[in-house]
Amino acid sequence: MVLCELVGSIGSFFTTPAIPTWYASLKKPLLTPPSWVFAPVWFALYVLMGFSLYIVWAKGSQNLNVRLAIAAFGAQLILNLLWSVAFFGARSVVFGLVAILCLLAALVATVLIFGRISRTAQILLLPYLAWVAFATILNFEIALLN
């Protein structure tokens, strides 16, 4: 969980300063949640991600499927951070869209791989997958509007 929350904290370094300035100036779709919603949602998602990763890791890193699952998880976690850097840090809705589409693909792969190891670990990632899918739609709409 610490690793996941650390990534979230690093991402917030790019996100937080941009919210009241650049992000506030963007045209956003009607379904965009208020800004205060994002921090608690992401905190909860990172906790679930951490539990999920622990369940898989506890199955033993000597197992090839476990190593593959951990690598997939690491890749999507890096892409998660890259989205914050691209969208908020670089203030690019297009670069953010590319990053979140890559994140979504990597996350789908991670969920499928985790399912081979633990159904519980897979289920714990589903809220994260739903949120990233929703965020992808928002990012796409923001790109269209701006």
Which CATH number does the domain housing residue 138 bear? Answer: 1.20.1260.100
Measured in whole angstroms, the distance separating CA 12 from the mean position of its chain's CA atoms is 12
Dihedral of alpha carbons 36, 39, 89, 95, sign: negative
Residue 132 pLDDT greater than 70, yes or no: yes
**8, pLDDT greater than 80:** no
pLDDT of residue 122: 98
Dig out the tokens for 66 from the structure: 């476990």
Per residue in 85-111, pLDDT tens?
999 999 999 999 999 999 999 999 999
- Structural domain boundaries, residue 51: 2-27+36-145
> Can you give the pLDDT at residue 5?
74
Number of domains in the chain: 1
Alpha-carbon Rg for the chain, nearest whole angstrom, is 15
Please report the pLDDT score of residue 19 as a whole number: 79
- The pLDDT assigned to 17 comes to 76
**29 φ/ψ sector (left φ>0, alpha ψ -120 to 50, else beta):** beta
